[in-house]
A = this chain, B = another copy of it.
Amino acid sequence: MARSALGANIGYSFADPALLRRALTHRSHGAHHYERLEFLGDGVLNCVIASELYRRFPDSGEGDLTLLRASIVNQQSLVTVAQGISLGSHLLLGEGELKSGGAQRPSILADALEAVLGAVFVDGGFEAARGVALHLFAAALERADPRAAGKDPKTLLQELLQARRIPLPKYAVIATAGDAHEQTFRVECVIPELNIRTQGEGASRRSAEQAAAHRAYELGIRT
């Protein structure tokens, strides 16, 4: 597919098309790859989403805003956006990477999407990158729910499972480490019906359960 089609998908026309080409070039394809732009784009995307959440949710505290941002800027969410603009078909990959399915690999799609945002920032400045990011993440921003963000992961997971009539998860301590006054707990969360098994660590059993529940919830909402 022509790169100009990708430009149309993201709603931006590059003054310097070489920047877009670089944003789409995996390191397996050549030295002028996207990794520096990815570093830049990660910072730009986090800033844009933070400022948009700050604006949209004037009653949400810092903790909720942080959770909301994490629910929008994560690999799964980036992959969904990348798939929506057919980013994979525009990637420049080395032969081995191409044959092994690199164009559909989540980590590559997510990284290249950040690189594209970095390239827009270099090409057109912050406001241009902001416009593209808000366009691409419009659906994710619409789904962002500060009421959900205020709930702890175990509660969210429980509600998710109840809504689907699935039995509640089982939590078990599988390891502890450290002295008595500074222990670390590792807890496993198991939901056999969804084939989910996650682990979490924390300074208390409860916080380790919350960490494991958080990962299970992230997997569960995509199942």
Whether A35 and B61, one on each chain, are in contact in the complex, defined by CB atoms closer than 8 angstroms, is yes
| Bound-state Cα–Cα, A61 to B126, Å | 22
- Interface range for A: 20 to 34
Total identical chains: 2
Whether B51 and A65, one on each chain, are in contact in the complex, defined by CB atoms closer than 8 angstroms, is no
The stretch among A15-23, A98-106, A174-182 that forms the contact with chain B is: A174-182
A211 to chain B, nearest CB (A): 14
| Bound-state Cα–Cα, A174 to B130, Å | 47
- Contact partner of A47 among B43, B62, B122, B177, CB < 8 A? B43
Q: Does any Cβ of B come within 8 Å of A140's Cβ?
A: no
Whether A62 and B35, one on each chain, are in contact in the complex, defined by CB atoms closer than 8 angstroms, is yes
Chain B residues positioned under 8 Å from A175 (CB to CB): 177-178, 184
| Bound-state Cα–Cα, A126 to B124, Å | 13
Chain B residues positioned under 8 Å from A54 (CB to CB): 36, 39-40, 118, 122
With both beta carbons as reference points, the residue of chain B lying nearest to A42 in the complex is identified as: B50
Chain B residues positioned under 8 Å from A60 (CB to CB): 36
| Bound-state Cα–Cα, A177 to B176, Å | 7
Q: Does any Cβ of B come within 8 Å of A66's Cβ?
A: yes
Chain A 161-185 near chain B by CB (<8 Å), digits 1 or 0: 0000000000000111110000010
Q: Does any Cβ of B come within 8 Å of A75's Cβ?
A: no
Known contacts: A121-B51, A127-B126. The answer to whether A62 contacts B43 by CB under 8 A is no
